[in-house]
Chain A
Amino acid sequence: MRNTKSWTKLLLLVLTYVIIQLLILFGIIQDFQQITLTTICINIILAVSLNLITGFTGQFSLGHAGFMSIGAYTCALITMRMPTIPGFILGLVAGAVAAAVVGILVGLPTLRLRGDYLAIATLGMSEIIRIVFLNLNITNGAAGLSGIPQFVNWPWLFVFTAGTILLIVNFLKSSHGRACISIREDEIAAEAMGINTTKYKVTAFAIGAFCAGIAGALYASYFFFIKPTTFNFQKSVDVLVMVVLGGMGSVSGSVLAAILLALISTFLQSFSELRMVIYSLILIIIMIFRPQGLMGSKELSLSMLSKLGSKFSFRKGRV
Chain B
Amino acid sequence: MSLLGLKEGKLLEQFLHQIINGISLGSIYALVALGYTMVYGIIKLINFAHCDIYMIGAYVGYFCMTFLGIGFVPSLLAAMAVCTVLGVTIEKIAYKPLRNATRIAVLITAIGVSLFLEYGTMFFVKAQVRSYPPLTGLLAKTLQLGNISVPMLQVLILAITIILMLLLQFVVNKTKIGKAMRAVSMDQDAAELMGINVDTTISFTFALGSALAGAAGILVGVYYNSINPLMGVLPGLKSFVAAVFGGIGIIPGAMIGGYIIGIVEVLISGYINSMYRDAFVFAILILILILKPAGLLGKNTREKV
Contacts and interface: CB of A to CB of B under 8 A. Distances in A.
Interface of A: 54, 58, 60, 109-110, 113-117, 119-121, 123-125, 127-128, 131-132, 134-135, 188, 233, 237, 240, 244, 248, 273-274, 276-277, 279-284, 287-288, 291
Contacts of B45: 116
A277 B46 contact: no
A284 B112 contact: yes
A284 B94 contact: yes
A116 B119 contact: no
B293 interface: yes
B255 to A, nearest CB: 20
B290 A131 contact: no
Interface string B143-175: 000000000000000000000000000000000
A136 to B, nearest CB: 10
Interface residues of B, number: 45
Interface in B229-269: 233, 237, 240-241, 244
Closest 7 CB pairs of A and B: A283-B112, A280-B115, A124-B282, A280-B116, A276-B119, A284-B112, A287-B109
Give the most central of B45, B111, B240: most A CB within 10 Å. Answer: B111
A131 B276 contact: yes
Contacts of A277: 115-116, 119-120, 123
B240 A128 contact: no
Give the most central of A115, A120, A132: most B CB within 10 Å. Answer: A120
Contacts of A274: 119, 123
A31 to B, nearest CB: 29
12 contacts: A121-B289, A124-B286, A127-B279, A276-B118, A277-B115, A277-B120, A280-B114, A281-B112, A281-B116, A283-B108, A283-B115, A291-B105
A127 B112 CA distance: 19
A115 B104 contact: yes
Given A109-B290, A135-B276, A240-B111, A120 B285 contact: yes
B97 to A, nearest CB: 5
B95 to A, nearest CB: 10
A124 B283 CA distance: 8
Contacts of B44: 116
A116 B113 contact: no
Nearest to B121: A273
A123 B281 CA distance: 12
Given A117-B293, A277-B123, A125 B112 contact: no
Interface of B: 44-46, 94, 97-98, 101-109, 111-116, 118-120, 122-123, 127, 233, 237, 240-241, 244, 275-276, 278-279, 282-283, 285-286, 289-290, 293, 303, 305
Nearest to B114: A280
Given A113-B293, A284-B94, A60 B286 contact: no
Given A113-B289, A284-B94, A288-B98, A123 B237 contact: yes
Nearest to B305: A188
B290 A128 contact: no
A185 B287 CA distance: 28
A110 B286 contact: yes
Contacts of B116: 277, 280-281, 284
Nearest to B229: A273
A117 B36 CA distance: 13
A237 B115 CA distance: 9
B111 A237 contact: yes
Given A124-B285, A277-B123, A132 B98 contact: no
A283 B114 CA distance: 11
Contacts of A109: 286, 290
A138 to B, nearest CB: 15
B282 to A, nearest CB: 4
Nearest to A287: B109
A274 to B, nearest CB: 6
Nearest to A59: B104
A55 to B, nearest CB: 10
A109 B108 CA distance: 24
